[in-house]
């Protein structure tokens, strides 16, 4: 489902004496449907960079990144947009929304984008928000004023609203209490059971051990660190 | 799929000075394209050339018309282009006063566009105008008031209602949220996003506000000195800018 072949990435900082930073080099990995793979490695090893390259918001200099057969590296912007709408979900660490939009609409939006009716999308959004223990009195408010943990749960609800066949999870359990962490882990297990291919970054080792089938140490791809 | 708009090699000189040079891109139905750059980078010149407000020195702007398929709007006759700008195209000006008739009531401003495409029944026109005022969150009791009595944010929303009432397929916007205070801006962004999704609109938005394009645009073009220096997916250009100027632009934004 997710297939990386000889992928490399450098940053060129034109305004800082044109420094060239090699981030990851020659990455080859693949994740099958129903499998969850954890990216590991020290801070700065390139875990998040690799994830953003797969999502397409970082440009890849060399190699192929195939998601369900589409090469993100070469694809036209509109193909990437379509892929993100239908196939590839991403739960980032931070929630980014239009101010003033109610939480319920934020969560329902990915479903509306794939053509679900307003009432169906709202029903599922309500179900997910309730499951993630967001109090009902907050549903009609914008999440911009929520606490960090609440924002993260809204982000997760939004990320799991549409059953994406491929998912990227950036520290989905980072700032959650035990009960909510349990809910998120069960959502990940459900996604695996329905056949989603998942790549995740988990600093929470117990969570990683529970949901991940394999671990890939990203430092092996970091230039100058690899042995 | 046929692009809704295909812009090819648009060039405009002001005497010796370059307005914009050799700009080209395809816009597909339902896509929102942002154009950013500092003042004088040629983004408004480009927008005005595409919308037919300025005559470009070279290039083609091919629009997929409802009746005849793709047509070059630059070489199209003036009446045809006017018809297009009353029906399938809309233009939202930075200053609402430029896009509104200030001496005519709010309802009249919206109704005028309907009459321009042939509607004649007063009751229908008024009902549609009132419906649209509601959609842009202007109270129905203000339908007979002139826009001079409206706040800046209300005028901008009225301008949007006037433009969208005829169900256009392509909207050109020149700094639609410029000069509005932040809470009104957020409201307008929310409104525009909803309209894009529900009506399947395509839009080209010129702005210098990177936060606005991040929330609204699927794709982004960065302009400098009349040239496009970088183009791509909005979050890719903003998160991983490749050109020196885009990097400067993105890194110059103050964090809130």
- Distance, CA of A11 to chain centre: 22
* Rounded percentage of chain A residues whose pLDDT exceeds 90: 67
Greatest mean pLDDT among A191-195, A223-227, B181-185: A191-195
Give the Å distances, CA to CA, from A140 to A21, A123, A137, A211: 45, 14, 7, 33
pLDDT value of residue B208: 83
Give the Å distances, CA to CA, from B125 to A203, B1, B55, B116: 60, 35, 34, 11
pLDDT value of residue A51: 93
Note which residues in 188-217 of chain B have CB less than 8 A from chain A: 189-190, 193, 197, 214-215
- The average pLDDT across A208-216 equals 92
- The average pLDDT across B98-115 equals 93
Question: Rounded to the nearest 10 degrees, what angle do helices B106-116 and B152-164 cross at?
Answer: 20
- pLDDT, one tens digit per residue, over B112-148 is 999 988 889 999 999 999 999 988 889 999 999 999 9
pLDDT band at A225 (very low <50, low <70, confident <90, very high): low
> Across the interface, do B240 and A77 touch by the CB < 8 Å criterion?
no
- The average pLDDT across B87-104 equals 92
Query: Distance between CA B147 and CA B104 in Å, rounded?
Result: 8
> Across the interface, do B31 and A11 touch by the CB < 8 Å criterion?
no
pLDDT band at A226 (very low <50, low <70, confident <90, very high): very low
Note which residues in 99-138 of chain A have CB less than 8 A from chain B: 99-101, 112-113
Is the CB of residue B251 less than 8 Å away from at least one CB of chain A? yes
pLDDT value of residue A120: 94
Residue A34's H or E segment, with its range, is none
pLDDT band at A227 (very low <50, low <70, confident <90, very high): very low
Q: Diameter of chain B by CA atoms?
A: 57
What ipTM was predicted for this assembly?
A: 0.86
Greatest mean pLDDT among A41-55, B173-187, B191-205: A41-55
> Across the interface, do A56 and B236 touch by the CB < 8 Å criterion?
yes
> Across the interface, do A14 and B236 touch by the CB < 8 Å criterion?
no
Query: Distance between CA B178 and CA B123 in Å, rounded?
Result: 35
Three-state DSSP at A91 gives strand
- Work out whether strand B170-174 and strand B219-224 pair parallel, antiparallel, or are unpaired: unpaired
Residue A33's H or E segment, with its range, is none
The answer to whether A7 and A65 are in contact (CB under 8 A) is yes
* Rounded percentage of chain B residues whose pLDDT exceeds 90: 65
Average pLDDT, chain A: 91
Written as one string, the DSSP assignment of A119-143 is HHHHHHHHHHHHHTT--GGGTTS-G
The answer to whether A191 and A199 are in contact (CB under 8 A) is no
* Rounded percentage of chain B residues whose pLDDT exceeds 70: 98
Residues of chain A with C-beta less than 8 angstroms from the C-beta of B236: 56-59
- The average pLDDT across B15-22 equals 93
Q: Out of A53-62, A96-105, B181-190, which region has the weakest mean confidence (pLDDT)?
A: B181-190
Is the CB of residue A14 less than 8 Å away from at least one CB of chain B? yes
Residues of chain A with C-beta less than 8 angstroms from the C-beta of B218: 77-78, 81
Question: Rounded to the nearest 10 degrees, what angle do helices A178-193 and A148-161 cross at?
Answer: 10
Closest chain A residue by Cα to residue B30: A78
The pTM for the full model equals: 0.88
Map tokens 């060039």 to a residue. Answer: B11
Query: Distance between CA B207 and CA B34 in Å, rounded?
Result: 7
Q: Out of A140-144, A220-224, B19-23, B55-59, which region has the weakest mean confidence (pLDDT)?
A: A220-224
pLDDT band at B184 (very low <50, low <70, confident <90, very high): confident
As to burial, measured by CB atoms within 10 angstroms (0-12 exposed, 13-18 middle, 19+ buried), residue B14 is: exposed
The answer to whether A55 and A168 are in contact (CB under 8 A) is yes
pLDDT band at A148 (very low <50, low <70, confident <90, very high): confident
pLDDT value of residue B256: 54
Query: Distance between CA A143 and CA A141 in Å, rounded?
Result: 6
> Across the interface, do A81 and B218 touch by the CB < 8 Å criterion?
yes
- Is the pLDDT confidence value at A46 over 90? no
Q: Which CATH class is domain A2-221?
A: alpha beta
- Is the pLDDT confidence value at B252 over 50? yes
Residues of chain A with C-beta less than 8 angstroms from the C-beta of B200: none
Angle at Cα A70 formed by Cα A3 and Cα B35, nearest 5°?
A: 120
């Amino acid at each position: 489902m997710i297939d990386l072949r000889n992928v490399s990435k450098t940053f060129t900082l034109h305004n800082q004496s044109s420094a060239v930073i090699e981030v990851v080099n020659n990455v080859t990995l693949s994740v099958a449907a129903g499998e969850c793979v954890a990216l590991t490695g020290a801070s700065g090893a390139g875990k998040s960079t690799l994830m953003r390259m797969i999502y397409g918001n970082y440009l890849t200099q060399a190699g192929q990144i195939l998601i369900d057969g589409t090469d993100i590296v070469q694809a036209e912007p509109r193909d990437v947009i379509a892929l993100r709408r239908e196939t590839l979900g991403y739960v980032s660490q931070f929630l980014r929304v239009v101010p003033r939009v109610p939480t319920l609409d934020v969560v329902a939006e990915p479903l509306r984008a794939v053509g679900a009716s307003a009432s169906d999308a709202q029903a599922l959004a309500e179900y997910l928000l309730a499951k993630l223990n967001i109090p009902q009195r907050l549903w009609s408010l914008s999440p911009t004023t929520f606490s960090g943990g609440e924002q993260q749960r809204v982000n997760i609800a939004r990320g799991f609203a549409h059953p994406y066949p491929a998912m990227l999870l950036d520290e989905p359990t980072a700032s959650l209490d035990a009960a909510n962490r349990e809910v998120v882990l069960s959502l990940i297990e459900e996604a695996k059971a329905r056949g989603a291919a998942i790549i995740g970054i988990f600093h929470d080792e117990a969570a990683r051990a529970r949901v991940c089938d394999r671990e890939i140490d990203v430092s092996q791809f970091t230039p100058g660190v690899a042995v | 799929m046929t692009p809704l708009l295909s812009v090819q090699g648009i060039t405009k000189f002001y005497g010796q000075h370059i307005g914009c040079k050799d700009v080209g891109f395809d816009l597909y139905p339902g896509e929102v394209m942002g154009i950013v750059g500092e003042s004088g980078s040629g983004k408004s010149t480009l927008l005005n050339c595409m919308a037919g407000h300025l005559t470009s020195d070279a290039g083609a702007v091919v629009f997929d018309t409802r009746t005849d398929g793709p047509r070059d709007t630059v070489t199209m006759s003036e009446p045809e282009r006017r018809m297009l700008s009353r029906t399938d195209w809309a233009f939202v000006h930075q200053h609402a006063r430029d896009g509104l008739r200030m001496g005519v009531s709010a309802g009249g401003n919206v109704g005028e566009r309907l009459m321009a495409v042939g509607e004649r029944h007063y009751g229908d026109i008024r009902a549609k105008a009132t419906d649209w005022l509601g959609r842009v969150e202007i109270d129905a009791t203000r339908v007979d008031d002139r826009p001079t009595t409206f706040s800046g944010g209300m005028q901008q929303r009225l301008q949007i209602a006037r433009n969208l009432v005829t169900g256009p397929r392509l909207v050109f916007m020149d700094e639609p949220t410029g000069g509005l205070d932040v809470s009104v801006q957020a409201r307008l962004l929310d409104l525009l996003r909803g309209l894009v999704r529900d009506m399947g609109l395509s839009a080209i938005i010129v702005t210098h506000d990177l936060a606005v394009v991040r929330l609204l645009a699927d794709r982004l073009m960065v302009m400098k000195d009349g040239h496009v220096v970088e183009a791509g997916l909005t979050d890719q250009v903003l998160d991983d800018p490749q050109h020196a100027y885009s990097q400067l632009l993105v890194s110059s934004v103050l964090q809130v």
